Every structure is written in C-alpha cells, then in structure tokens.
Structure 1
Amino acid sequence: MSTATANTLDWRAAWTSALDDLEMDVFAVESMLADERRLAETPPANQWRPPTELGALPLELKPRADEILTRQLAAAEEIARRLTANRQQIAVTSRIETGEAVKRPVYLDCAM
C-alpha cells in the first residue's frame, strides 16, 4: 500500500470516527428528549469537541454529516420548544394562589 493511500485511509478513518462521536452525542440528546422522566440537568459526560487538523471532509461522508446536522437542528428546535413551554407553565403556575403566601382580607356581609 502506498503512503498516499494509507494517508487517505487514515484521513477517512479520522473523519468517520469524528462523525461517530458526533452522532452519539446527538443520539444522547434525542434519547433525553424522548424520555420524559430522565434528569435533564445531567449533562452528557463526554461532550463532543470538534477534532483538529482533520482537513476537509471526505466527499463520500458528506451525506452522513448532512444527516447528523439535520438531526442536531431538529433536537435544538425541540429543546427550544420545550424551554418555551416550561417558561409558559412557570408563568401560569406562578399566578396560582395557594392562600399560603398571600393573605387577603375577607369580607363577610352579615346583613342578609
């Protein structure tokens, strides 16, 4: 095997590995969004970091990278939607009076 072929295989393998890591990160977020009972405050243990010095993405990996990007954007949109829904729910529940925090005078008309 020539040095150029070996370098090309190493380059492709490095990109494949980077996409594998990124895809697992997206899968973890998608799983968290699918599981309503999972603790959302717990961040992923190994956050994905972009690899350095890989060079350009191999052309045959572009469809996979595009698909991962589409999934990332969908997950980000779902997170934003859920955050908005949570804020709306907090706003509504903060207006509910329990009677404990707010003491209001009560008037009773005994004339009747």
Structure 2
Amino acid sequence: MSGGNWGHAWSDALDELELDVATIEAMLADEHRHAETPPASLWKAPTELGALPLELKPRADEILTRQLKAAEEIARRMTATRQQMTMTTRIETGEAVKRPVYVDRAM
C-alpha cells in the first residue's frame, strides 16, 4: 500500500470509529433515543493498514478520549440503574419499610 493510500485508509478507519462514538454520545445525550436505536456493530481494527500515520495520532487520541468518557458515563448510568432497581424491588417487597402499617390498640 502506498503512503497516500495508507493515510487515506487510516483516515477512513478513524471516520468509522468516530461515527460509532458519536452515536453513543448522542444516545447518552438523549435517554429516550437509546430504546429506538439498534445496537452498534463492534468495530474491528483493520489488519491490513499497518502502523497509524503520525499525522493522524492526535485525531486517534481524541477519539480514544471520547470513547473512554462515554464508557465511564455508561458505567455510571448502569450503576445508577442497578441501585434504582434494587430500591424498587425493596419497595415492592416491603423490605424498604420496616415499621408496622397497622397496630391494633384495642386489645
């Protein structure tokens, strides 16, 4: 692969990766949208490209930073959802309230 084609192929690969992270960011920004959006396909690093051209490294680093930030937000939301589900279950089963609802004082 010639140098020009090599850089162009890497640029195309980064375009695809950036589109994936932009989709995730949009889903995180609009909580209702994720239910309507099909899951993203897994990105696979191209094997035939060789090393990343040096001039594309800043862009690749920026995409990685965005991916990590999105992954942290997904993990935070998963934890919050898990906590909410636990509390909901406790409320539904009565575990959240440990006091009597009715006391017969006539006896």
TM-score range, shorter chain: 0.7 to 0.9
Q: Alignment identity in percent? A: 60
3-state SS of 2:32 partner = coil
Aligned to 1:108: 104
Conserved in 2, the CA contact under 8 Å of 1:26 and 1:71?
yes
CA offset at residue 109 of structure 1? Answer: 2.6
Aligned to 1:43: 39
Conserved in 2, the CA contact under 8 Å of 1:12 and 1:58?
yes
Aligned to 1:84: 79
Instruction: Extract unaligned runs of 5+ from structure 2.
Output: 95-99
Larger radius of gyration: 1
Letter paired with 2:42: Q
1:17 equivalent in alignment to 2:16: no
Aligned to 1:33: 28
Distance 1:50 1:23, change over 3 A: same
Higher helix share: 2
Q: CA–CA distance in 2 between the matches of 1:41 and 1:82?
A: 17
Conserved in 2, the CA contact under 8 Å of 1:23 and 1:68?
yes
Distance 1:41 1:94, change over 3 A: farther
Instruction: Extract unaligned runs of 5+ from structure 1.
Output: 1-5
Aligned length: 101
Letter paired with 2:24: V
3-state SS of 1:89 partner = helix
- Aligned-residue CA RMSD (Å): 2.4
Q: Note the 1:41-80 alignment, pairs <5 A.
A: 42-44=38-40, 46-80=41-75
